[in-house]
Amino acid sequence: MAAVDQIPTRWRRDEYTISTEKGYLDREVIFHFLNKESYWAKGIPGEVVAESIEHSPLCFGMYKGDPTIGPAQLIGFARVISDLSTFAYLADVFVIQPFRGRGLAKWLISVITAHPQLQRVRRFMLVTNDAHSLYAKYGFEPLDEPSLFMQIVRKNVYQERA
């Protein structure tokens, strides 16, 4: 595995930047998208979003501009829940509406799947309702044996907290 000081934290493409520096994240944009626009986290409380970011080892903010050199607009986000050794789960992936259709989601997923800290994980998972063809391009595939997997689903958990 690469030494920590050799792991990239920023990628550039044209006028866009992806960064894993959590300090640059616009948490209000993330909260608004997840709470109001996503199908998977609608109604999620702000404190849960904040905790999920804090406890995820890799968060990828996508910006129009470069937050390391000046003002930049957060236009996309994804986070990886992982031990960075054996297992990873990709969550909360989005690009906001005005920036869709430009290949930015593809770029974001390519940066995530190529990240040095995720190369040793044995299982990298995600759940998606509508983007199977996007993720398939980066190696994700349906479960070999879905009957082996189990889950606990707490429906309406965010509404119950209110």
**Is 12 a residue whose pLDDT tops 90?**
yes
Interval 98-147: pLDDT, tens = 999 999 999 999 999 999 999 999 999 999 999 999 999 999 999 999 99
| The predicted structure's pLDDT at residue 160 | 64
Question: What is the helix (H) or strand (E) element at residue 81, kind and residue range?
Answer: strand 73-82
Task: Look up the domain containing 92 and give its range.
Answer: 4-161
Confidence of residue 156 (pLDDT cuts 50, 70, 90): confident
- CA-to-CA distance for 99 and 95, rounded, in angstroms? 7
Nearest alpha-carbon partner for 115 in 19, 24, 16, 13: 19
Question: What is the helix (H) or strand (E) element at residue 133, kind and residue range?
Answer: helix 132-136
Confidence of residue 4 (pLDDT cuts 50, 70, 90): low
| The predicted structure's pLDDT at residue 96 | 98
Q: What is the CATH number of the domain that holds 116?
A: 3.40.630.30
| The predicted structure's pLDDT at residue 65 | 97
Confidence of residue 93 (pLDDT cuts 50, 70, 90): very high
Number of domains in the chain: 1
